[in-house]
Structure 1
Amino acid sequence: MAAARDLKATETAGSGNAVELAKRHLVQPWPFAGSVGAEARALIGEGDGIYITDGTGKKLIDGPAGMWCVNIGHRREELARVMYDQAMALSYNTPWYTMNAPSAELAMRIAGYAPGDLSHVFFTTGGSSAVETALRFMQFYNNVRGRPEKKLILSRGGAYHGSTYLSASLNGRPRDRDWMDGADDLVVKLSSPDPFRRPRGLSISAFTDVLVDEFRDTVGRVGADRIGAFVGEPVQASGGVIVPPDGYLKRIRQICRDNDILYVSDEVVTAFGRLGHVFASGDMFGIDPDMITFAKGVTSGYFPLGGVIISERLLEQLRRSNHPDAMFGHGLTYTSHPVGCAVALKNLDILEESVLAHTREVAPYFQAQLKTLEELPLVGEVRGLGLMACVECVADRDSNDPLQLDKDVGKRIDAHCHELGLLVRPLINMCVMSPPLIITREQIDDMVSILREGISRTMDDLRKEGVWQG
């Protein structure tokens, strides 16, 4: 044991080499079996505004804003000071039998922005635990109401809802579940509302009708008395920034209401400014869900925090039930963490002061400039909303083949862009962009220029290798 401690101390003190230490000791998220526990990824040393600096000192535009989350940008001293001040005042309290003031104030502030009667907040540690909480609440709600069979969950292809067991069971992206187990007996999958992938010759309006009919038919076939919830992102983020057709979400919401199915709007990505509003469900899509899950941008990535906003109607039904002693046996050590909630309060102040308005002002320019990339023959579609967008590459535009010849085209583009000064989020044949909300028009121009060059270089590579003739 002593020898092991000495070895570790020598490694840490002597090298300062994070890459080598990672290869020896760090298990990365989403690893492949052939390299698990023995890999290092691009090292990021610093961040400032919309920029990050990698391990070699290269300055990069943070195209994905971390992971959709660094909404107000890196190195905001206001958030760092709040973090310090709150930690010095109260670093932690157990949520089992005590509470703290920042969590109560934050719950009130968040409820004020939520649509409909969503008025109560349960805080979690992130997006996965937020979705897990919403699903466990649905199970508890139906158990208390004497409907233990009403537990099935409707989800969709292209969805991403988390990495905990139950939340991950809802995921519908390629490769997410190839080697992983899930609660498949609890989940019913529906089609992705992806207009780009609709059958050729089908209008957007007709495609919307097909999606709604599929939803309605599934409820009829499975039985509304067995379906507890539908979980859906307003915009499918990690599925490729899938913006649903106009009116689709409202029609799905009505079917859920008619059949007493809880509608859970997963706003882990779309909330806190990504689409220019604190929440997109009501302000952008005109729906009032039964629950909204959130995380990421609530603290702009400065502290792990998430949560679920719950309808007053649901809580009132529980309070009036015949089982007043029934316990919602769910909680986390870091539920309502005082430091996280204090950071979120300050983050919300900053969003309210100027960032939300700036996002709404600059988003049309962001979308329009990225749309010019459709001039490149490798690009099948550029789509998005607010400050989130996806560039989808295809082998040819006649078939919209998602480049089956090279599933790493997104990584190829990212590698070229990294060399040129831009970090991209590669997703198989797609590149996702969701920069910090403080990005300026000039910085958008820089980002799009680099992305154009990265795609052009990738086209040259594919042609030279003979795997693409576009």
Structure 2
Amino acid sequence: MKSLSNSAATIRDYDNTHFMHPWEGMAEFGSADRTISASAEGIYVYDQNGRKLIDGPGGMWCSQIGYARQDMADAIADQVMKLSYNSPWNTASAPPALLAKKLADLAPGDLNTVFFTTGGSTAVDTAIRFMHFYNNRLGRRDKKIVLSRVRAYHGSTYLSASVTGRDQGSNNLDIEKDRVRLLSDVNPNLRPKGTSLDDWCDAKLAEMEALILETGPDKIGAFIAEPILASGGVIIPPPGYHKRTLELCHKYDILYISDEVVTAFGRLGHWFASKDVFDIQPDMITCAKGITSGYLPLGACLISDRLLEPISGEGHENTFFNNGYTYSGHPVSCAAALKNIEIIENEKILEHVRAISPRFMEKLNALRDLPNVGDTRGMGLVGCVEAAVDPSDDQTRAERLQAFGNKVDQKCEELGLIVRPLGHMCVFSPPLVITEGQIDDMFAILSEAIRLVATEF
């Protein structure tokens, strides 16, 4: 068999020729000039030339404990040698059982049952399928519509993509539209001049209730919401919004699914943000990403006892929740999650996040004084910088915003920082172990990049 070269030039050629990436740009297909990540340690990634880059996005919102943890590598290796796989259909093993118990202890309220999945998309898919199952078992076969929001992101499987409210107009893939209703953008920055946050919140709640009544409460099965709309641009709804939407769901017997794929496991300084940050008790929570700090793929859907009680036990013989994956509760992934949680606990990483978040927000908001910065926003260790350009016709303005964002991305990388470009926005979710000095370094690079690009505009 012919050996494969691992030189940087050859890796780029293999990558372009054979690896179709997520959200692949078809115009550049086969010719993209992606940075090759060669190694990583702590909060830093090293490229093919040995250049050191701060990992601003924390991988993909997931590298909580940082890279190159020997204790994590040892835990993974030990489990590989002990039991690398077992069928979740007809056998059990220690890692998923222990992890399920741990998650039940950490989760709010009565979220005591855990369904393990392969990632965030399949966790959301599972939550929606469980809602279908739940209502079918209760004889409510028409109660299946899901409410979601414009700019929400929930995943890439058919169901999770269908409840995603981001970029639906430019989506070249089919989605389920009959069973989804989208609420308008909740971003407080869009409120009309002179409108208070309370008035904006009132308007959004009135819209939601009107949509429920127009559609029919007997047809709506669930409302799915991120505590913070992460991929939508780190949108933080107005104060009280989450609690009041939950009350509406209770009023009309609609299940509340909190999508914590990004916010769980410390991003906002708590294991889960739903209760501890936003004071809501969901019926289901979906999570992934930070559950293993990205060391291995894993997702989970946490389900309330209240939902399981009427559809399980005596009288439900020969009834099955026919949903599952070959890698549900994968023992090695679950071992990685257990070690990840142990590290976060032992090193008091949640407390660390709460302690340094003010510094993160101070440095983030200081960017508002720079040219071409329209807005900054964030919470915990997640933030967004949104660009602004001179007014012009919509098409030209959109093109200029996109160009500005692309140039900032390029300039940041030249200066030693990876950012997550979302059109004209840059989002940040660095590893939770980042220090105050590293926060200063990160925003100093971003500030310099914005200044340099602004001179070109």
TM-score by length of 2: 0.96
1:397–1:262 CA distance, 2 compared to 1 (3 A): farther
Distance across 2 between alignment mates of 1:15 and 1:252? 51
1:201: Cα distance to partner?
A: 2.4
User: Structure 1 residue 200 and structure 2 residue 193: aligned?
Assistant: yes
Listed one character per residue, the Cα deviations across residues 398-454 of structure 1 (whole Å, up to 9, x for unaligned) are 999995242232221110010001000010010001100011111111011000011
1:179 to 149, 172, 176: 172
1:214 to 207, 218, 232: 207
Tell me which residue corresponds to 1:244. Answer: 237
What amino acid does structure 2 have at the position aligned with 1:325? N
Tell me which residue corresponds to 1:92. Answer: 85
1:282–1:169 CA distance, 2 compared to 1 (3 A): same
Tell me which residue corresponds to 2:375. Answer: 381
What amino acid does structure 2 have at the position aligned with 1:195? P
User: Structure 1 residue 421 and structure 2 residue 416: aligned?
Assistant: yes
Distance across 2 between alignment mates of 1:344 and 1:263? 25
1:455–1:153 CA distance, 2 compared to 1 (3 A): same
What value does the CA root-mean-square deviation take over the aligned residues?
2.0
Stretch deviating more after TM superposition (312-321 or 122-131): 312-321
User: Structure 1 residue 41 and structure 2 residue 23: aligned?
Assistant: no
SS in structure 1 of the partner of residue 112 of structure 2: strand
Tell me which residue corresponds to 1:167. Answer: 160
What amino acid does structure 2 have at the position aligned with 1:386? G
1:359 to 350, 353, 358: 353
2:387 to 385, 389, 393: 393
Stretch deviating more after TM superposition (164-173 or 153-162): 164-173
Indicate if the aligned counterparts of 2:8 and 2:48 stay in contact, CA closer than 8 A: no
1:321: Cα distance to partner?
A: 7.6
What amino acid does structure 2 have at the position aligned with 1:124? T
1:78: Cα distance to partner?
A: 0.8
Indicate if the aligned counterparts of 1:230 and 1:261 stay in contact, CA closer than 8 A: yes
Distance across 1 between alignment mates of 2:343 and 2:169? 35
User: Structure 1 residue 287 and structure 2 residue 274: aligned?
Assistant: no
Indicate if the aligned counterparts of 1:145 and 1:321 stay in contact, CA closer than 8 A: no
Tell me which residue corresponds to 2:439. Answer: 444
1:10: Cα distance to partner?
A: 5.4
TM-score by length of 1: 0.93
1:291–1:43 CA distance, 2 compared to 1 (3 A): same
What amino acid does structure 1 have at the position aligned with 2:430? P
Tell me which residue corresponds to 1:310. Answer: 303
Tell me which residue corresponds to 2:120. Answer: 127
Tell me which residue corresponds to 1:71. Answer: 64
Distance across 1 between alignment mates of 2:9 and 2:397? 41
Tell me which residue corresponds to 2:73. Answer: 80
Listed one character per residue, the Cα deviations across residues 214-251 of structure 1 (whole Å, up to 9, x for unaligned) are 11111111011000001110000000001111100000
Listed one character per residue, the Cα deviations across residues 124-170 of structure 1 (whole Å, up to 9, x for unaligned) are 01000000000000001111110110000001001000001110111
Distance across 2 between alignment mates of 1:67 and 1:198? 30
Tell me which residue corresponds to 1:468. Answer: none
Distance across 1 between alignment mates of 2:321 and 2:438? 48
Indicate if the aligned counterparts of 2:371 and 2:451 stay in contact, CA closer than 8 A: no
Tell me which residue corresponds to 1:139. Answer: 132
1:115 to 94, 108, 116: 108
SS in structure 2 of the partner of residue 123 of structure 1: strand
Distance across 1 between alignment mates of 2:266 and 2:376? 21
SS in structure 1 of the partner of residue 67 of structure 2: coil
1:320: Cα distance to partner?
A: 5.5
Structure 2: stretches of 5+ with no match in the other structure: none
1:164–1:357 CA distance, 2 compared to 1 (3 A): same
Fraction of identical pairs, as percent: 49
Listed one character per residue, the Cα deviations across residues 84-103 of structure 1 (whole Å, up to 9, x for unaligned) are 00000000000010011111
SS in structure 1 of the partner of residue 129 of structure 2: helix
SS in structure 2 of the partner of residue 357 of structure 1: helix
What amino acid does structure 2 have at the position aligned with 1:355? I
1:203–1:51 CA distance, 2 compared to 1 (3 A): same
Distance across 2 between alignment mates of 1:183 and 1:249? 25
Distance across 2 between alignment mates of 1:298 and 1:396? 42
Indicate if the aligned counterparts of 2:113 and 2:305 stay in contact, CA closer than 8 A: yes
Structure 1: stretches of 5+ with no match in the other structure: 1-5, 463-470
- What is the aligned residue count? 455
What amino acid does structure 2 have at the position aligned with 1:274? R
Tell me which residue corresponds to 1:348. Answer: 341
SS in structure 2 of the partner of residue 309 of structure 1: strand
1:436–1:321 CA distance, 2 compared to 1 (3 A): same
Tell me which residue corresponds to 1:465. Answer: none
What amino acid does structure 2 have at the position aligned with 1:374? R
Distance across 2 between alignment mates of 1:103 and 1:27? 32
What amino acid does structure 2 have at the position aligned with 1:444? I
SS in structure 2 of the partner of residue 408 of structure 1: helix
Indicate if the aligned counterparts of 1:281 and 1:287 stay in contact, CA closer than 8 A: yes
What amino acid does structure 1 have at the position aligned with 2:18? H
SS in structure 1 of the partner of residue 421 of structure 2: strand
Distance across 1 between alignment mates of 2:455 and 2:395? 19
User: Structure 1 residue 189 and structure 2 residue 182: aligned?
Assistant: yes
